[in-house]
Amino acid sequence: MQQARKLPSVNRVPSPAQPGGAPGISREPGKRLKKAKLLGIMAACFILSLVVVAQYSSLVVLNYQLSSARSELNSVRESSRITEIEAARLGSLDRIESIAREELGMVEPGMEQLNTISASQRVESEPSISTSQRVDPENNRPGE
């Protein structure tokens, strides 16, 4: 650590060649220490204020980020709402039925194409069910 340089004796009269000298200024070690403490405190205050300002500035930046994130969240929420409605619209049973009938040419099976089986029969003759219910895609009639 650097040591303070020893100063000349007190009450020394400055020569005219040293303008700006401080006649009468106390050069006692106690006072110098006091002055150094004062300067130290001032420096600390300055640094502290810089820290505060830096934090404040960081807070502002964070706040801008928060504001931007909130806006993005709202936008995503809105987009989610639109998507939910669109999904519901696309999945509506009317639309599905209309596509099935008009675009895919699907028709409801006629009574002659349906075989109702009892629960007991289903258990006993499981494999035959698919055969009896098979529908010929060509003419929509049960396969023979």
Whose Cβ is closer to other proteins: residue 48's or residue 82's?
82
Q: Are strands 141-142 and 135-136 parallel, antiparallel or unpaired?
A: antiparallel
Does 92 sit near other proteins (CB under 8 A)? yes
Residues 86, 80: contact at Cβ < 8 Å? no
Q: Which C-beta is closer to other proteins: that of 112 or that of 138?
A: 112
133 class by beta-carbon count within 10 Å (0-12 exposed, 13-18 middle, 19+ buried) = middle
Question: Which residues have CB under 8 Å from 13's CB, separation 6+?
Answer: 23
Three-class DSSP labels, 88-115: HHHCCHHHHHHHHHHHCCCCCCCHHHCC
Residue 77 Cβ vs other proteins, minimum distance, rounded to whole Å: 8
Binding mask 49-88 for other proteins (x = CB under 8 A): -------x--xx--xx-xx----------x--xx-xxxxx
Where in 124-143 is the site for other proteins (CB under 8 A)? none
Residues at the contact surface with other proteins, assessed by CB under 8 A: 16, 19, 23, 56, 59-60, 63-64, 66-67, 78, 81-82, 84-89, 91-94, 97, 116-119, 121
